[in-house]
Amino acid sequence: MVLSKAWTLAKHFKGFPKLSDFKQQEVELPNIKDGEVLIEALFLSVDPYMRSYSSISMKEGNIMVGSQVARVVESKNSAFPVGDFVISTAGWTTHSISDGKNLQSLLCNWPEHIPKSVALGTIGMPGLTAYFGLFEVCSLKEGDTVLVNAAAGAVGSSVGQIAKIKGCKVVGCAGTDDKVAYLKQIGFDEAFNYKTVSSLEEALKKASPDGYDCYFDNVGGTFSSVALLQMKQYGRIALCGAISLYNDSAPQLGTYPVVPFILKEFRMEGFIVSRWKDKSEEALKQLMTWVVEGKLKYREQITEGFDNMPAGFLGMLKGENTGKAIIKV
């Protein structure tokens, strides 16, 4: 008999989430049946999408959604023997029972020197988001100039580096000088702190006087209103996230450049990475290869302790992380 801890959504977030919106519960898990496994979380992921997902698809009392890297500790399912490492969508739980449907084995031959938590980051959902957003949504071509915001985050840092691997010019924006320094360190051609520039428009123009072919948007809101006006003819915009909007209780008022959108023939697409499930193994192998070759660097911001998971989530929403925000049990 195993005691599992879980974090539930105690109260729907109003504006920016508070620690008191979460509640920890303990549940005694039953014995596993044929076909089932018991898994124990090692690393848990906190991601921006959880904020928007909670409002739309969760009820109060539900366990918070999310992915984790876990180890199989009991098994009556031959596909997942004891000791195997899996990615699970069990949510914010320390232990859980699964029939295997929400589990995925870690890539074969996972190198010793790469922490398994990276399967929640650059060689996981955020890496895939960058990959498919660039290739499937932005139709990335060699020589493109790519703009990405929240660029020091798990997705953004992969976007910039993948675009560099493909021979593009990359401009990244982030919210602290340390993050900007990190972007330059991992190969961004241009990077600036959007919070301290006197004019976002001027900073974008300076970073790429000819404009941008691709805009990978993790932020939304007023940033986008300005950035769209800097796009070239046939500019492609991948709408990946809108972290500047998730905590709003009412839609933001803004200007949307509809006439330039028509005359410059922009294409903008919202996307969720699960659309390309059938291509994801191949893409993960590519991401792994780039990581092993040192072309695709990752950084993690580790919060220690399952009990600190809500605090880690809030810190990530505030932009306190450089790289992937991870909770280590």
Q: Which residues bind a copy of itself (CB under 8 A)?
A: 52, 56, 220-221, 224, 239-242, 245-246, 251-259, 261-272, 275
Residue 93 beta carbon to a copy of itself: minimum distance, rounded to whole angstroms: 24
Residue 229 beta carbon to a copy of itself: minimum distance, rounded to whole angstroms: 10
Report DSSP state, residue 137.
Answer: I
Residue 221 beta carbon to a copy of itself: minimum distance, rounded to whole angstroms: 7
Residue 244 beta carbon to a copy of itself: minimum distance, rounded to whole angstroms: 9
**What are the phi and psi torsion angles at 308 (to 5°)?**
-95, 10
| CB-nearer residue toward a copy of itself: 4 or 224 | 224
| CB-nearer residue toward a copy of itself: 143 or 254 | 254
3-state SS class at 178: helix
Are the C-beta atoms of 282 and 276 separated by less than 8 Å?
no
List Cβ neighbours of 276 (8 Å cut-off, separation of 6 or more): 128, 132, 136, 283
| CB-nearer residue toward a copy of itself: 232 or 299 | 232
Residue 304 tokens read as 């220690």
Residue 98 beta carbon to a copy of itself: minimum distance, rounded to whole angstroms: 26
| CB-nearer residue toward a copy of itself: 115 or 133 | 133
| CB-nearer residue toward a copy of itself: 236 or 328 | 236
How far apart, in whole angstroms, are the C-alpha atoms of residue 153 and residue 323?
Answer: 5
CA distances from 140 to 54, 164, 260 (A): 32, 11, 21
Residue 129 beta carbon to a copy of itself: minimum distance, rounded to whole angstroms: 11
Residue 101 beta carbon to a copy of itself: minimum distance, rounded to whole angstroms: 22
CA distances from 132 to 70, 276, 280 (A): 25, 8, 9
Residue 20 tokens read as 């008191």
Are the C-beta atoms of 149 and 219 separated by less than 8 Å?
yes
| CB-nearer residue toward a copy of itself: 33 or 141 | 141
Angle subtended by helix axes 280-292 and 154-165, to nearest 10 = 80
List Cβ neighbours of 216 (8 Å cut-off, separation of 6 or more): 130, 133, 134, 138, 146, 147, 148, 149, 156, 159, 238, 240
Report DSSP state, residue 167.
Answer: T
How far apart, in whole angstroms, are the C-alpha atoms of residue 163 and residue 286?
Answer: 14
| CB-nearer residue toward a copy of itself: 151 or 242 | 242
| CB-nearer residue toward a copy of itself: 62 or 252 | 252
Residue 237 beta carbon to a copy of itself: minimum distance, rounded to whole angstroms: 9
